[in-house]
Amino acid sequence: MYRNATKTMRKLIVLMMLALCQFVFAQQVIMNRVEKVHDNTDKFLYRIDPQITKAEYLGEVEVQGFSHDDVAVFGKIYAKAKQIGANAFSLKPFESIDGSKQDFDASNYQLSLYYTTPADFPKEDNIIYLISSPNTKQTIAVNKKNIVFEPRTFTKMQLEPGVTYTISTRKLLGTSIRLAAQAQQPVQYFQFSAFSVNSNPGDVGIQLKSGDIMRLEQSYAQFLTTVYEFKP
């Protein structure tokens, strides 16, 4: 009986230690600084370059710990930003002792928060961003030219007038889209997802997909292109 009690106690201690480790190393978003609060009802949160775009500095958040759930991370950042009325952000690199900027670390980074008049946000007409899956290496065809996307990377393309662009996941059960330049066409963001099995609305059975191309909302997409690596 004593041995059983000892084993049970050891198991409890191990479980408590695991829970403590998960708590200590859990990803979190902290409001590091609040300079001021702006009163606005803007729903978006776009990236800016504060050296180019006129903006009012409001505060700063810090992301501590890595998570593969980019939607959840952005949701936390968005909630903090809206607490002080921010509608814009920029990456704020950490500085080394010698004053040089450190390389980006996805497990610990800072974002400066701003308010910018909507008319002052820069435009990128007829630009598309192609964003990889967070976990899966994929090969994507752009006008039959294969491009390899490592996880957590993206590239940027200019749509040229008179050219139709076909972007495909290349697989039998995959997805393809066609794009073309248009007058004053706003920037577009697309993310690739890996193989999935989904319910098939309206039909019996399931729907198998070997790759999807999803169009992203600009705020979330600009967050991804801040924390993912650019590949020309």
Q: 30: which 2 tokens?
A: 């902290």
Q: Is 75 left (phi over 0), alpha (psi -120 to 50) or beta?
A: alpha
Phi, psi of 218 (to 5 degrees): -65, -40
Planar angle of CA 57, 63, 66, nearest 5 degrees: 155
Q: 36: which 2 tokens?
A: 């001021």
Whole-angstrom distance, CA of residue 130 vs CA of residue 191: 6
Q: Are 101 and 109 in contact (CB under 8 A)?
A: no
Say what the pLDDT of residue 98 is.
Answer: 84
The residues spanned by each domain of the chain are: 27-120, 127-230
Say what the pLDDT of residue 211 is.
Answer: 63
* 92 strand-pairing partners: 110
pLDDT lower than 50: segments of the chain: 2, 7, 11, 14-15, 18-25, 195-210
What are the percentages of helix, strand and coil residues in the chain, rounded to 5? Answer: 20, 35, 40
- List, for residues 199-228, the tens digit of each pLDDT value: 444 444 444 444 689 999 999 999 999 999
End-to-end Cα, the chain, rounded Å: 66
Say what the pLDDT of residue 163 is.
Answer: 97
Say what the pLDDT of residue 10 is.
Answer: 53
Say what the pLDDT of residue 170 is.
Answer: 76
Q: 170: which 2 tokens?
A: 């290349």
Say what the pLDDT of residue 12 is.
Answer: 53
How far is residue 102 from each of residues 65, 108, 230, measured CA to CA in Å? 17, 11, 17
Q: Which CATH architecture is the domain 127-230 placed in?
A: Sandwich (2.60)
